Amino acid sequence: MRNKSKIRISIVTFGIIFAFLFINNHKFFNEQDGIIENGNKINIKRLKSSGNYFESFIHVNGNWSETATIYDWCSGDGSWSNPYTIENVIINASTSPTGNGILINNSKNEYIIIRNCTIHNAGRMGIWLENTNNGRLINNTCIYNGEYGIILNINCINNTIFDNIVNSNTGQGIQLRDFCENNTVSGNIIDNNGWCGIRVRYSSSNNIISGNTISDNNWEGIYLDENCDNNLISENTITNNGRNGGIMFSQLCDNNTISGNTANANTQNGIYLVDDCDDNTISGNTANNNTQFGIYLIEHCDVNTISGNTVSNNSWFGIVISSDNNLIYQNFFIGNNYLHAHDDGINNQWNNSIIGNYWDNHTSPDSNNDGIVDTPYIWIMGSAGSKDYFPLAETPFHSGEKVHIDDSGVNAWNWSTTARLKFWCTGSGTYSDPYIIDGLEIDAGGSGSCILINNSKNEYFIIINCTVYNAGSGGRNAGIKLENTNNGTLKNNNCSNNGYFGILLDKNCKNNTISKNVANDNECGICLISNCNNNTILDNTANNNLIDGIMVWDCKNNSISYNTLNSNDNVGIIIVDSSYNTVTRNIANNNKDYGIMLYGFTTYCLNNTVSGNTASNTITSNQEYGIYLIAGSENTISNNTVNNNNQYGIELYYSSYNSISGNTIYYNKHYGVHLTGECNENNITENYIYFNTNGVIFIDSSDCDDNRITRNIFVSSDQKFINDDGTNTVISMNYELLSPPQLYVEIVDQLFSIAEFTITINVFSELPFDFSILNFQIWWNGIVVNSITELEHGLYNISLTPIFVNPGDDPILLNMTITAIYHLEKYFETYIAVEPCEIVKYLQVDITDTSYSLEHFNFTFFIFNETEQGIDATTIQMWWDGVDVSAEVKNLGNGYYFISLEPITVAPGEDPILLKMAISASGYEDKQFETYLAVDPETLEKGVEQDGDEFPFMILIIAIVSTAGGIGAAIITIGILRKRKPTTEVI
């Protein structure tokens, strides 16, 4: 039943009225008219139309604001958050007076975007940026232009060219030239251009060229020439380009990085350096099937490092060097048609004194199994007579083979050898620099484990982002297997579809972390066996496995949390013969037998904690229980949600001294909790057990002794509560209800001001239990309210935006829905009517400086409001001894004013002189101000001029009491005290 209360509150001015009303300058936006009103200002905003626009050219020469005002296709204000944007323009530039489709120059400080434009048939460039910074060219198409598709020319800095299509232009696809720095060219498709795909020229440095697809251009795919340094060329795909091939550097291009590119099937060379290009790094690239050489360095290209590249099946040589002092190691040479290498240089090193290169025609012998062929590689043609003294017996790259690391070095390479010889293993094994295996894909072919790490006790390592499958079904094989291994992290791996285990920690594995992995469709998803202690299994998914999602057998002190373990054929999580493990906040639903099971098979399961998990089974084929404890003692099963299981929510079998508390157990087909077979001295307390088919708790054996059932909430519409066949069961202080308990809401306090309405409510239960509010949904006049603050003892403050109603108008609805654990959802509403009050704002006056002489009396005074803000826009009338001196008042600014008066002195015993002001300002109550002055003439004659501080006198002012902050005032009635005879005399 809905609770409804109605409150009408009137704030009445009587005697002293406190008003808390503050009016903000209003701001409205009429979207249909596109007119913005802000205070007294009205701005007309022209609404932009959408769709495509057609132009013959665009030229912006630093005049962005004018362009954005005139043209529908340009918007924004040039800020970082709202850049000038040209978009959706189709330009046939055949008649462009500039020869270009879009020309932007001299734009250094604005942020700009050119997006979704198509530019074709320009006599020169499709898009030309010159002396321009902070531009982003996104998703444009530049085709069939007379010279270049896109050019950045002369001091273009911090621009991005991303996701554009640039093809069939007569010259370069994209060019950066003349001191263009810190630009990014990424994700573009650049093909069939008459010259280069991308060219960087003339001292253009610190640019990034990455992730582009560059093919079928008549010249090189990427070409850097003439003093272009510190550029990064990475992850590009460069194929079928002409002239000198895929990637080319010439003429003093130093300290650049060429990494991770695919430079295949190009005319002549995959990667080509010529004319004094030094100190560059060429690593991790693929240079295959080029018509001459994979990698080619000539004419004084010295001190470059070439490592980790795959160079195969090139028509002549894999690599040719006619330069000096270069380092070549850990490259993979296979199937090059003539020979793998040619060296006419001086002092080129074909190994790094630890490892050399892999040569497919020289892979043995390796008698000591150290990964290095016992004899040097001598088939490097050329005048240098070079040799590789450390040729690799295996390829440094991963080609899908299984990985086995034995840190004892007995059965396989250890970590240090693997990291030294294999490009896919990095690091040094320390905590701060662990060994890392990243991104491998391994099909074990139905035998063995995909990745096996054993006897690694002191090294730190990470296996991440690997996909492993089809591991063998016997011999404890797994997608990833650790054996006698510590300090490993397995993260973000997919270990599904293996013959037995997805992930296995076997025998004495400690301090490992298994997180965010997927281990589906195995026999068992994740398994720890035999003294694997102090490991963390966190946030993994192990579904649809033929036996269990997670199994822990004979292990201690492991943490298993936040995992998802659904639809496994046996158990979601099973803990066997294990103690002191923590199983928290997992989801184990729809498993065919049990959600979570603790099983003392050969010894008791002791002191495990099963807390905060969800174990439910909602499909009809489930046969057993949500949580099942066999032969367990001193375990804690708390705060779990156990529902919709085909038999019992929680079952204990031959288990004693366990605590079952704080669980929510409902809609199970038999009982919520079942104890059978000598279950003694278990404590079942503060659980919420409701609507289970056969009843709440069933103790079905007289062998179950001294169990305690206390302070639980039981709900059964047919009064099926406890069925107790045990001995000496203590049943006390339980609450038996026919329906879930209700919440109640009452308003305990209200505070209304011009700035905020605050409603304080008390939420309480019909039961004397602590409970947790799960969710509030609150609406004020139909608008969602999110500002609610929890106090204590069930009290909450709700903060509302003030809405005032006039007398006779309908009150405003405040309504809410409250959800709390164990309780029925609660709906509550009330109506509130707060009438507006009159707002009065007051002026105040303070005399800040005075001086007196025989020639003048000078006064500086300050007029301000209740927030001590000076008021300039005032009208001041002033009378000095009844004479109007208003014209002499000078406005000094910021609320300060000055008046110089003709001196009038007063002899002792005479009446003082009245100085009177009447002040008015828009939005304020008029202000009257009076003060009386008495200055002794004899005192003035003693000195030329005296500060007012030296002349004490009485100032009597009308008193106005005002609150701080400018949000209200107290209006009082007070008389003006005027003394005609007493004076302040200057002696």
Residue pLDDT, tens place only, 95-128: 999 999 999 999 999 999 999 999 999 999 999 9
How far lies 701's CA from each of 401, 604, 707, in Å? 58, 21, 12
The one-character DSSP state at 938 is: H
* Lateral strand order in the sheet of 743-752: 743-752, 757-765, 795-800, 788-790
- Cα–Cα–Cα angle for 524, 528, 532, rounded to 5 degrees: 175
Both tokens of residue 495?
């270990």
pLDDT value, residue 941: 62
How far lies 619's CA from each of 494, 546, 622, 914, 927, in Å? 27, 17, 6, 96, 81
Q: What is the pLDDT of residues 952-980, one digit of tens each?
A: 333 333 333 333 333 333 332 222 223 33
Both tokens of residue 934?
């008495």
Highest mean pLDDT among 520-524, 686-690, 912-916: 520-524
Across 437-454, b (16+ Cβ under 10 Å) vs e yields beebebebeeebbbbbbb
Does residue 365 have a cis peptide bond before it, meaning omega lies within 30 degrees of 0?
Answer: yes
Both tokens of residue 15?
């005697």
β-bridge partners, 53 = 89
Band of pLDDT at residue 866, cut at 50, 70 and 90? confident
Domain 601-740, classified CATH 2.160.20.10, yes or no: yes
Locus of tokens 């004397």: 768
Q: What is the pLDDT of residues 770-795, one digit of tens each?
A: 777 778 999 999 999 999 999 988 89
Type of residue found at 686: E
Both tokens of residue 593?
């037998």
pLDDT value, residue 623: 57
Band of pLDDT at residue 937, cut at 50, 70 and 90? confident
Q: What percent of the chain has pLDDT over 90?
A: 77
The one-character DSSP state at 95 is: G
Task: Find out whether 899 and 888 touch, Cβ atoms under 8 Å.
Answer: yes
Fold classification of 51-219 is Pectate Lyase C-like (2.160.20)
Both tokens of residue 219?
């010249």
The Cα 108–Cα 224 span in angstroms is 25
* DSSP per-residue codes, 405-445: EETTSSSS--HHHHHHH-TTEE--SSSSS-EEEES-EEE-T
Across 745-767, b (16+ Cβ under 10 Å) vs e yields bebeebebbbeebbbbbebebee
pLDDT value, residue 773: 76
Task: Find out whether 74 and 104 touch, Cβ atoms under 8 Å.
Answer: no
pTM strictly above 0.75: no
Task: Find out whether 407 and 414 touch, Cβ atoms under 8 Å.
Answer: yes
pLDDT value, residue 51: 53
Average pLDDT for residues 132-150, to the nearest whole number? 98
Locus of tokens 């994740």: 526
β-bridge partners, 893 = 896
Q: Quick check: 333 pLDDT over 60?
A: yes
Task: Find out whether 225 and 196 touch, Cβ atoms under 8 Å.
Answer: no
Average pLDDT for residues 931-949, to the nearest whole number? 65
Q: What is the pLDDT of residues 603-622, one digit of tens each?
A: 999 999 999 999 887 543 34
Locus of tokens 């022209």: 46
The Cα 516–Cα 82 span in angstroms is 38
pLDDT value, residue 220: 98
Average pLDDT for residues 854-868, to the nearest whole number? 88
Q: What is the pLDDT of residues 362-413, one digit of tens each?
A: 999 999 989 999 999 999 999 999 999 999 999 999 999 999 999 998 889 9
Task: Indicate the domain borders of the chain.
Answer: 1-47+741-838, 51-219, 258-397, 601-740, 844-966
Type of residue found at 479: G
Higher pLDDT, 25 or 556: 556
Q: Quick check: 341 pLDDT over 90?
A: yes
The Cα 125–Cα 172 span in angstroms is 10
Pairing of strands 890-893, 286-288: unpaired
Both tokens of residue 648?
């019992």
Torsion over CA of 220, 226, 231 and 232, rounded to 10 degrees?
20
Both tokens of residue 652?
């204990």
The Cα 339–Cα 357 span in angstroms is 14
Fold classification of 1-47+741-838 is Immunoglobulin-like (2.60.40)
Band of pLDDT at residue 855, cut at 50, 70 and 90? confident
- Distant-in-sequence, close-in-space partners of 624: CB < 8 Å, separation ≥ 6: 593, 594, 645, 646, 647
* DSSP per-residue codes, 623-671: -S-SEEEESEES-EEES-EEE--SS-SEEEES-BS-EEES-EEE--SSE
How far lies 236's CA from each of 186, 197, 802, 869, 879, in Å? 9, 12, 59, 63, 86
Both tokens of residue 6?
């109605």
Q: What is the pLDDT of residues 877-931, one digit of tens each?
A: 999 999 999 999 999 999 999 999 999 888 888 889 999 999 999 878 889 988 8
How far lies 887's CA from each of 802, 856, 881, 882, 899, in Å? 45, 16, 15, 14, 9
The SS3 of residue 23 is coil
Lowest mean pLDDT among 126-140, 391-405, 824-838: 824-838
Q: Quick check: 15 pLDDT over 70?
A: no
Q: Quick check: 5 pLDDT over 50?
A: no
Tell me which residue of 747, 656, 731 sits closest to 697, measured CA to CA: 731
The one-character DSSP state at 564 is: B
pLDDT value, residue 839: 54
Phi, psi for residue 953 in degrees, rounded to 5: -150, 165
Average pLDDT for residues 688-699, to the nearest whole number? 94
The SS3 of residue 335 is coil
Task: Find out whether 473 and 496 touch, Cβ atoms under 8 Å.
Answer: no
Band of pLDDT at residue 936, cut at 50, 70 and 90? confident
Q: What is the pLDDT of residues 151-188, one digit of tens each?
A: 999 999 999 999 999 999 999 999 999 999 999 999 99
Same fold, 1-47+741-838 and 601-740: no
Average pLDDT for residues 703-718, to the nearest whole number? 95
Tell me which residue of 554, 552, 604 sits closest to 575, measured CA to CA: 552
Q: What is the pLDDT of residues 223-261, one digit of tens each?
A: 999 999 999 999 999 999 999 999 999 999 999 999 999
Type of residue found at 390: F
Q: Please list the alpha-helical segments (H only) found in 192-272.
A: none
* DSSP per-residue codes, 497-529: S-SSEEEEEESS-BS-EEES-B--SSSEEEEEE
Task: Find out whether 184 and 161 touch, Cβ atoms under 8 Å.
Answer: yes
Fold classification of 844-966 is Immunoglobulin-like (2.60.40)
Q: In whole numbers, what is the pLDDT of the chain averaged over residues?
A: 88
Widest CA span in the chain: 127
Q: Where are the beta strands (DSSP E) in 93-183?
A: 102-107, 112-115, 118-120, 127-132, 135-138, 141-143, 150-153, 160-162, 165-167, 174-177
CA neighbours closer than 13 Å in the CB half-sphere of residue 475: 9
pLDDT value, residue 618: 56
Average pLDDT for residues 527-537, to the nearest whole number? 98
The Cα 481–Cα 486 span in angstroms is 12
The SS3 of residue 799 is strand
* DSSP per-residue codes, 368-419: T-SSB-SS-B--EESTT---BSS-BSS-SS--S--EEEETTSSSS--HHHHH
The Cα 558–Cα 955 span in angstroms is 82
Both tokens of residue 751?
């505070």
- Distant-in-sequence, close-in-space partners of 784: CB < 8 Å, separation ≥ 6: 777, 778
Both tokens of residue 926?
């008029």
Does residue 807 have a cis peptide bond before it, meaning omega lies within 30 degrees of 0?
Answer: no
The Cα 974–Cα 987 span in angstroms is 33
CA 138 to chain centre: 24
